Amino acid sequence: MGQARRNGGSTERLALVSGAQGSGKTFTGALMRAKLSDAPDILVQIAPEVARLTTIPNLFERLAVAAGISEDDPFRAATRPDIGLLRHDLIPQGLETLDRLLTKSEGTKSRLWLIVDFGRDEGWLTGRQEDWMAFMSQALQRDWMRVVVAGISEGRQAEFHAILSNKSVPFPETIAELGWAEVQEFVEANLGGVENQAADVSAAQEFWEGAVAGTSGRARFAKTLSFLKVMNIVGKSS
């Protein structure tokens, strides 16, 4: 994740994460936040209940605030245009503003990660999917933009391949049942340089496997969250 994935010479800036309920799609965002905690990258995560109601103007407000926009920046007062101006006015202007905010004094840019969890296809089909596609098709042309879309079924992912350009070829990933490999990666990312980390991880695996034994789906995910709370890890990555 520290470097851009490459496939056939094109940078993969969009990941489409699918899986059954309780497979750990939301867990992906928590893992990324833990891994990026010491990096200059900026991460914005939008939960399903928010994603279903978020408009593109709302989205730009969230991204700009995360990137450090000031209260008196004129863009903050210009993020609610008429819908007809969305594609040709707000989106290009918003991306230019983010480009400015992400540019450091030496000319380098922070990378901006957007994780949008639609929950299920119903969350995507809210009447705003064309607006989201318009945003992604332009945003993914920026070198600093990375988008993870969770909750879109494999069948509907074809829409992304059909609409987006070759420069933003989606990287699909289907998550199976939540397993120790994913949990271990999250645990190790949060333990950092803790002394005797290997022993702690080994003990954690035994504890986790006992906690989730005989569970699947949402129940397994809930048990995993309880396990992380007991280990005092959940709060560190939020």
CATH superfamily of 5-175: P-loop containing nucleotide triphosphate hydrolases (3.40.50.300)
Listed residue (94, 102, 98) closest to 40, CA to CA: 102
The pTM for the full model equals 0.71
Token pair for 31: 């893992």
What ranges in the chain are assigned the alpha helix state H? 25-35, 48-51, 56-67, 91-102, 121-124, 129-139, 158-163, 180-191, 197-212, 217-230
Per-residue pLDDT of the chain (238 residues; tens, 9 = 90+): 333 343 433 457 888 887 766 666 666 777 677 677 667 889 999 988 888 888 888 899 899 999 998 877 777 665 555 556 788 888 999 999 999 999 987 778 899 999 998 877 665 666 677 888 889 889 988 999 999 888 777 777 777 777 666 656 677 777 767 788 878 877 777 766 555 566 678 888 888 888 888 887 778 877 888 887 777 665 444 4
CATH 3.40.50.300-classified regions of the chain: 5-175
